[in-house]
Amino acid sequence: MKYQISKCCYTNNDRGDCVNIAILDDDIDFVRKIQNDINEYFSMIDEKINIITLTENFKLINSLIMEPLDVIFLDIDLKDEYDGFSIAKILKKSFPNIIIIFVSSNNDFVFPALSIDFFQFIRKNSYDEDIPLVFSQLKEFYIQNCKKIILEVNKRKVLIKLNEIIYIMSIGHELFIKTISKEYTISSSLVKFMKKIDFKYLVQIQRNLVINLYFAEDVLRTNVILFDNTKYKVGRKYQDNLSRVYEEFLLR
C-alpha cells in the first residue's frame, strides 16, 4: 500500500491549528504535483497543514486517518474497486463538513458529481487554469467558515475549530462541548460562550442546547435530526430563528 503522511508543526500538543488534507489519486506524478502546489499555497497564506496521500487500496482511507479531515482532493476515476464517488459518500458519513474537491481527466464527470455535496471540480487537462481559482475559493471559504476558539480545559489551553463542534450542552454551571473527535467540559454559561464566538451556524434550539447545522441530517420546525440519527426537539421560542438561519445555510 502506497501512502504518505506529512505533518505540520503544532503547539500545545493539539492539531486544532492545522488544516488536515488528503489526496487520493492513482496517478503518482499528479499526486506529487498537487501536493507541492498545496504546500506552496498554504505556506504563502501562513496556514499549517497535515497531508496524507494515498495512491492505492483506497478503501483503507478511514483506517489511516487519525484526525478529522478538512479537505480532500479526490480523483473520481480510480483504478480500484472504489471510485471517487463511493469514497466521497463514505467520508461524508465520518466527516459531514469535509470539503470535497473532485479531480478528473474526464470533464463529463462533473454532472454525476452534482449528486454529492462537493466544493469544486479540477479538470486535469486544465489544471493550471483551475488550481488558482480553487485555492482562492478555498481561502475565502476558510475565512468565512473555519474560525477557531481557544478553550481552557483543566488549566490547559486547547485550540478547536468551531465548524467541528457538533453540539454544546449546558449542564449546571458547565458546558459540555462535543466535537468530531473529542469532548470537552468547561466552566461557562451558554449565553457567555455564544457571545464570545462568531459562527452563525451554531444555532440554539433549546434553553441549554446549541447544535451545528453542518451536522444536521434533517431540520424541521419542531425537530432536528443529526447525522448520527440523534433527534432533538426545538423549543418554541427558537423555531423562527432556526428556520431563518437554516435557509441561509442551504443557500450558502
Is residue 73 within 8 A of residue 20, CB to CB? The reply is no
- In the chain the domains, ranked by start, together with CATH numbers, are 3-145 (3.40.50.2300), 149-250 (2.40.50.1020)
Backbone phi, then psi, for 229, in 5-degree steps? 70, 10
**81-110 residue pLDDT tens:** 778 888 888 888 878 888 999 999 887 776
CA distance 247 to 232: 19
Q: Is the separation of the CB atoms in 223 and 213 below 8 Å?
A: no
Q: Which long-range contacts (CB under 8 A, 24 or more apart) does 107-110 make?
A: 109/76, 109/77
Sheet holding 231-233, edge to edge: 216-219, 223-226, 231-233
Q: How far apart are CA 49 and CA 155, in angstroms?
A: 26
pLDDT digits (tens, 9 = 90+) for 136-181: 988 888 777 778 888 988 888 988 888 889 999 999 999 999 998 8
What residue spans of the chain are helical by DSSP H? 28-44, 61-64, 84-94, 127-145, 190-196, 239-250
Q: How far is CA 176 from CA 82, 185, 186, 191, 223, in A?
A: 38, 5, 7, 14, 21
pLDDT at 111 over 80: no
How far from the centroid of its chain's Cα atoms is residue 4's Cα?
A: 21
Task: With cut-offs at 50, 70 and 90, classify the pLDDT of residue 113.
Answer: low
Q: Output phi, psi for 135, to 5 deg.
A: -60, -40
Residue 163 exposed, middle or buried by CB count within 10 Å (0-12, 13-18, 19+) = buried
pLDDT at 13 over 60: no
